[in-house]
């Protein structure tokens, strides 16, 4: 059974870079149908998709965060990571890592891919404050 575990500092100073790591157990990050995602949730608010990466290094980022976000995959350590630069108080949130599974589907003979986040970490709280 795959499990994900976030780790990293719980407190980051404004203007600095937030760095988190997600460790994957019970499976490999080097799986062609797995994408590795980050999602965050400010206290009392909804989920926000940050971005995801494939083992090939291909990434997709939320346009509102793209300028500040870098997601990397570290196959030798079976981990992936998130870096968010120039943080402010608005970046204070619980950060989740998740596996975004890609599946091939067919409709009327037409093939397509669909995705869903089937495995989530428990989340790690990050506060931005001086």
Partner 1 sequence: QSMLTQPPSASATPGQRVTISCSGGSSDIETNPVNWYQQLPGTAPKLLIYRNNQRPSGVPDRFSGSKSGTSASLAINGLQSEDEADYYCATWDDSLIGVFGGGTKLTVL
CA distance 21 to 63: 22
Contact criterion met (CB below 8 Å) for 103 and 114: yes
Contact criterion met (CB below 8 Å) for 121 and 98: yes
Q: Which range in 14-22, 23-31, 58-66, 73-81 contacts partner 1 by CB under 8 A?
A: 58-66
Q: Which range in 15-23, 71-79, 81-89, 112-120 contacts partner 1 by CB under 8 A?
A: 112-120
CA distance 35 to 65: 19
Tell whether residue 64 is a contact of partner 1 (CB under 8 A).
yes
Residues at the site binding partner 1, with contacts judged by CB under 8 A: 37, 39, 46-49, 51-52, 60-64, 96, 100, 103, 105, 114-118, 120-123
């Amino acid at each position: 059974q795959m499990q994900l575990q976030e780790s990293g500092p719980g407190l980051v100073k404004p203007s600095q870079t937030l760095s988190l790591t997600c460790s994957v157990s019970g499976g490999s990050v080097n799986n062609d149908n797995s994408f590795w995602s980050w999602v965050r949730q400010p206290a009392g608010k909804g989920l926000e998709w940050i971005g995801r990466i494939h083992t090939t290094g291909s990434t997709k980022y939320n346009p509102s965060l793209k300028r500040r976000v870098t997601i990397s995959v570290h196959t030798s350590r079976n981990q992936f990571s998130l870096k968010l630069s120039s943080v402010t108080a608005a970046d204070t949130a619980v950060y989740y890592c998740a596996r975004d599974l890609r599946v091939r589907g067919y409709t009327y003979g037409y093939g397509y891919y669909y995705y869903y986040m089937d495995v989530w970490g428990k989340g790690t709280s990050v506060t931005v404050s001086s």
